Amino acid sequence: MKFYVTTPIYYVNDRPHIGHVYTTTIADIAARYHRLCGDDVFFLTGTDEHAAKVVDSARERGLTPQQWADQNAAVFQETFRKLGISNDDFIRTSQDRHKTKVQQYVGELLKSGDVYLGEYEGWYDAGQEEYVPENKAKEYEYKSPINGKPLVRKTEKNYFFRLSKYADTLLQKMEAEPKFVQPEVRRNEVMNRIREGLNDVPISRTGAGEWGIQVPGDPGHVIYVWVDALINYLSTVDTDERRQWWPADVHLMAKDILWFHAVIWPALLLALKRELPRQVYAHGFWIAEGQKMSKSLGNFIELEKIDRYVAEYGLDAFRYFLAAYGPLGANDSDFAEAKFVSVYNSELANDLGNLVNRSLTMIQRYRGGMVPRAAAEDLRAECERASAAYRAAMDALDLSGALEAVRALVVRANRYVEETAPFKLAKQPEQATRLDTVLYNLAETSRWLGVMIAPVMPQIAENIRAQLGLSARVGRIGEELRWGGLAAGGRLGALAPLFPRKI
Ligand code: MSP
């Protein structure tokens, strides 16, 4: 099977912060999981560069828009590299490979009549670069709901996309395929808004100068940045070598930009007669220490802070926290340092780390580092139950559910240590076979845990495998998650705690 996962392409004017890092990490975890399943994975992220504010910011710095975009796109790329993101490509909308495709598609739509020249007057949110419908503008008291600046009245000759034509098809699709837009609450919001009616939408602006992609055959008009941006998902794979990836299996983003992905984008694809993505998934927001992150409060969890967490607790622990406690569902999540540290100490250091460490240390001490043979499969059913729950959750992108299943297995295995008391068995020579069995069950369970956490904590997974004396690479998940994969008679590697405890 193929699996194509995308993140939004981020505004190149912004500095990366926890929001961008979160969506990209979630996508990374999904990509790594599907690779483990043996799927052919294509994972795309990138930068959205043709916003008008890029021109302003560049000018303030005495740079060309391209120079400014180059600098900032490099920051995003470097950030994702540092955070171990395994994307297969990084699309920048200022690249020729993208621009030519955008012109090609818009050209097709002009020809088919789904894009036409008309006139538009409305309330414009300059910060967001979008028109706000009259009823919304009133509700917002004619101010931007994002930055509070007054909306401006604007008239333009514009190219329009015949969005109205696709309202029924989209609604039918959403009714017939409940998984198309997720989570459920978001799906309902989108459907209700479509039911209110869809107007055609402007897809070009005038007088934008040289920055942006021109409407084919009309140099006075530049394609609206949102249409340009959405097309990245298709333009990147619309080549002879990559065409097999389309349609995307899941477009990931936060709820702020769901409308574009659940309505405008599928409608554009319908008009282009292309297949629709299988799923559009909109998660919630991270807030910081109980407060909404905003420019005015200056409380974004930015790179510097993320770097500090990573340096202190390890990248994998940071990824674990994002995955286990992030806003993947309908609700927002709070990133509080105290909570992160407490999760690190309890779930990672105390529970998982301690389980693996004490299990393997006992094999070292009582069996000279050689994996003993088991006479019974005490923890097999527990492992199988946990992995079934884990896989069902991962398949549904329920990362916290998957990690809950992992945690339950860790708790069970730690209890097994207390119940079987191997440290006591070790003192009774007649219990040697029983001790072998207990130690094997613990080591084998550690191996299962190493496999299951691999998409979320790839370094820790390798570390567990090295300590078990196994090769770093995890094989296909279906084969790895089979009881008995750890061979008796094998030698453990060097042991070390997985998560040094922090105060
Ligand atoms: N450029 C557009 C997207 C075009 S996609 C065709 C854009 N860029 S953005 O830089 O503003 O990124 C928005 C996305 O960043 C959100 O949808 C989400 O993925 C992520 N996040 C930004 N802030 C966030 C939080 N506070 N919490 C979680 N994710 C957030 O919109």
Q: DSSP readout, 241-258?
A: TTGGGPSPSEEEEEGGGH
Q: Is the CB of 234 under 6 A from ligand 1?
A: no
Residue 369 in domain: yes
Q: What is the pLDDT of residues 316-355, one digit of tens each?
A: 999 999 999 999 999 999 999 999 999 999 999 999 999 9
- Look at ligand 1, atom 21, and give the residue with the nearest C-alpha: 19
Q: What is the pLDDT of residues 107-134, one digit of tens each?
A: 999 999 999 999 888 899 888 778 888 8
Residue 368 in domain: yes
DSSP 431: G
Question: Which regions in the chain score pLDDT beneath 50?
Answer: none
Q: Residue 41's pLDDT is what? A: 98
Query: Which residues span the domain enclosing 364?
Result: 337-480
Residue 359 in domain: yes
Pocket probe for ligand 1: among 26, 47, 48, 335, the residue whose CB has the most ligand atoms within 8 Å is 48
Task: Let me know: does 185 contact 284? Beta carbons within 8 Å.
Answer: no
The SS3 assignment for 4 reads strand
Q: Is the CB of 19 under 6 A from ligand 1?
A: yes
Cβ-Cβ contacts under 8 Å for 425 (sequence gap 6 or more) = 431, 434, 435, 438
Residue 427 sits in a domain whose CATH number is: 1.10.730.10
Q: Which residue has the tokens 């604007």?
A: 154
CA 10 to centroid of ligand 1, rounded, Å: 6
Residue 315 in domain: no
Residue 298 in domain: no
* Closest alpha carbon to 269 in 299, 251, 247: 247
CA distance 95 to 301: 30
Question: Where do runs of H (alpha helix) occur along 326-379?
Answer: 337-343, 354-367
CA 338 to centroid of ligand 1, rounded, Å: 25
Q: Residue 208's pLDDT is what? A: 57
Pocket probe for ligand 1: among 15, 22, 293, the residue whose CB has the most ligand atoms within 8 Å is 22
Q: How many CB atoms lie within 10 A of CB 462?
A: 18
CA distance 263 to 258: 8
The SS3 assignment for 193 reads helix
Ligand 1 atom with the smallest distance to the CA of 8 is: 5
CA 55 to centroid of ligand 1, rounded, Å: 20
| Amino acid (one-letter) located at 254 | A
Query: How many separate domains does the chain show?
Result: 1
- Look at ligand 1, atom 24, and give the residue with the nearest C-alpha: 19
Residue 190 in domain: no
Radius of gyration of the chain (CA): 26
Residue 442 in domain: yes
Residue 121 in domain: no
| Amino acid (one-letter) located at 207 | G
Give Cα 62 distance to the centre of its chain.
35
